[in-house]
Structures are given as C-alpha cells and as structure tokens.
Structure 1
Amino acid sequence: MKTIFLFLLLSIILFSFSLAQPSPDAVRDIDSNLLRSGTKYYILPVFRGRGGGVTLAPTRNESCPLDVVQEGFELQNGLPLTFTPLDPKKGVIRESTDLNIVFSASSICIQSNVWMIEEYKGQLIVTGHGTAGNPGQDTLSNWFKIEKYEDDYKLVFCPTVCDFCKPVCGDIGVKIDENGIRRLAISDVPFKIKFRKA
C-alpha cells in the first residue's frame, strides 16, 4: 500500500512541476513588439555594411529552385516573410521553438517558398521549396528555431518534431561563394539578425 501511495504522490508532484514550467521568452521585433504568427516581417542583419535582408534567388546556375540568400546591399530589406509555430493556434513566436519560415512573395519558380535545409555541393544550405506543417520525419528539414544571441537573435536548425530522428544541428550563417552570392547555410558563425514588421 505504501508503494502505491508513494507512486501516486510522486506522479502528482511531477505533474505539478511540469505545469509550472514557464513558456520560453517571446521573440521581439526592433520596436520591442512581440513577433506574431502570420504577420509579415523582414529579417535584417544587425551589423551595418554587411549586406541587407534575406530574399530568394537562383544560385545553382539554373533559374530554379530558388535558395535563401542575403541581399548584397545594406539598404535592401529582402522579401517579407511569416513565421508559423509548431502549434499554428499559438499567436506569439517564442524562442527555441520549432517553426516554419515562409516568404510571402510569389516567385518565378513553382515552389512553396517554405524554408528548408538541403545538401548542395557539400554544404547544408537553406532553400525555399519546403513543406509547411505536418511535423514529423518527412518534414524534418523544414523546421527552424529563433534563439537569443547576445542582445539580438540568430536562426538555428535543430528540429525536435520527430522523437526518434537525429538531425544535424547548427546555426544558420551566411556563406559567400566565389560569385559573391551570400547564401544562408549551416555555419560555425551565426547570422546575427533582428526583425522588422513589413
């Protein structure tokens, strides 16, 4: 009888503790407003003189697919995009939680504009033809996180939408190729960013 009582008591304590866990901090834009699901934003670099916002561009000597790149000039904002958390009913975007990132503009290519990680020439690059929603093994490459980085933010690829999957995790940085294209890819140097409402 004591064993059952102890087990029930321990279960209640653990359940209460799990309910008391605080939500991760909300992500904020440059005006200190909460980032909201479905609202259009620009992703901009923190450091001036090192390129502009993020956009889609052909980078593979073909017109399609389009990959995620940083604009070459500081004054270019890039394309507006939206964030959709794992639970689409959640209105606020929170740090270190899985989400889809989707450009809000149409393109010349027939593609979704949902960000995803893809291997290209030995690099894990960010491209724009992923699948939104449907968390699990089949969509593992489509989930990103926003994490605090010093006083600003960075993007991270380390999805937790599949319990038994072992994804390659890493920060998203900017890799400049021989043609000067500033491609977003998994990198040892994070791309320090901020968000501005479009």
Structure 2
Amino acid sequence: MKTIILFSLAFIFTAYSAPAPAPVLDLSGKPLRTGAGYIIIPVDNLVNGGLYVRDLGKKSCKPGVVLSYNEEAGVPMTFTPVNPKKGVIRLSTDVNIQFSGSTTCDQSNVLRLKYDKGMKQYTVMVGGVEGNPGPETLDNWFKIEKSTIDDAYKFVYCPTVCSYCNVTCSDVGIVEDKDGFRRLALSNDPFSFIFYP
C-alpha cells in the first residue's frame, strides 16, 4: 500500500512539475501576449499579403478567411488560450484566434472550422465562440506550432479541449477556391508565417 501511495505521489509531482511548452515569439523575439494584436506575415516569397475576412457568399453571407493577393498587411489577430488569465501564448496549446474589428457578415470574429460543400473540404471561417472549451466549441480551437521553416509558425487544427472527442488533426494551409480566393483550409501543405507586433 505504501508503494502505491508513493508511486501516486511521484506521478502527481512529475505531472505538475513538467515544464510549460515554449512561448510563441513575434518578429522581435518577444512572447505573444493574450489579447494583443498581431499581423500574420507569410514567409514564402511567392505569397504576398496578409489574412483578412471576406464575404464569399453569392446569396447569403459566408465570411471566410482569405490571404490577400497584394501587399496589404492584413488585419491584426488576437489569441486567447483556454485559460485567458495566462498572459503568454504557448506552442501546442489550444487557442481561440480572432480578428480585430468587425466583420462584413455581422458575426463574431472568432475563427472556426467548417465544411465547405463547394470545395469539398474543411475551411477556416469566422463566427466561432470565444472560450467555453468543450465538445460544443471543438471547431473553434487551434494550435500554433513551429513550421519547418526557421523561426516561422503554422496553425494546426488538433483541439484537446474535449478528452473524449474523436478529432482528426491537420495542418492549416492555403487552398485556392474556384473563384480564385486563397483561403485558409485544412491541408497537407501548411501555411508558414511570422507574427508582426
């Protein structure tokens, strides 16, 4: 019995003393802060512009996240972890991602994953819910991971806010739709970027 108790205490101590994941860094080398605005800048020389929200609907409002074709910097984004009191955004942890300002479709600016029937794949839209981690908000949580390109990052859809939910993890990349818009979507080719403060 003493052995079991000692083993349990050792396990609890090890679990709570595990180091926190590394912080996500902006272009100046400072950790990303909860609620602060950052512009996403592509690192691929063939890709210009930044991310913004665009109404992609023909008959009804359909706000999707797209990459600009010109040199526009894009719209600042904020990041909120599961525990919003945590001041630093860390690698491999669930975060809500939100555009600053208002959208054209009178919906929230929080990113969410949604299946696009026309593209026949999951794309990143807005209209998600901030906070409230669990199965009802599973599509609203993303992770920031290191890209294979030095000092760059990528978004990954692989939420862990629901321990019993069945989730298929995937990188988030740029996919061109039939109208020529470069949209954020699940992809085997991740979109690599840096954070501009």
Q: What TM-score, normalized by structure 1, do the two folds share?
A: 0.94
Q: Which residue of 1 aligns with 2:187?
A: 187
Residue 135 of structure 2 is aligned with which of 101, 122, 137?
137
CA distance in 2, matches of 1:94, 1:145: 9
For residue 169 of structure 1, report the CA deviation from its aligned partner: 1.5
Q: How many residues align?
A: 193
Q: Which residue of 2 aligns with 1:105?
A: 101
For residue 107 of structure 1, report the CA deviation from its aligned partner: 2.1
Alpha-carbon distance change, 62 to 96 in structure 1, aligned in 2, over 3 angstroms: farther
Equivalent residue runs for 1:154-173 within 5 Å: 154-173=154-173
Alpha-carbon distance change, 62 to 33 in structure 1, aligned in 2, over 3 angstroms: farther
- Structure 1 or 2, whichever has the larger Rg, is 1
Q: Which runs of 5+ in 2 are unaligned?
A: none
Q: Which residue of 2 aligns with 1:58?
A: 55
1:31 equivalent to 2:41? Answer no
Which residue identity does 1:159 align to in structure 2?
P
Give 4+ residue runs of structure 1 displaced > 6 Å after superposition.
Answer: none
RMSD: 1.1
Residue 14 of structure 1 is aligned with which of 8, 11, 16?
11
CA distance in 2, matches of 1:51, 1:153: 17
Q: Which residue of 2 aligns with 1:147?
A: 145
Equivalent residue runs for 1:64-143 within 5 Å: 64-73=61-70, 75-121=71-117, 122-143=120-141
CA distance in 2, matches of 1:193, 1:60: 27
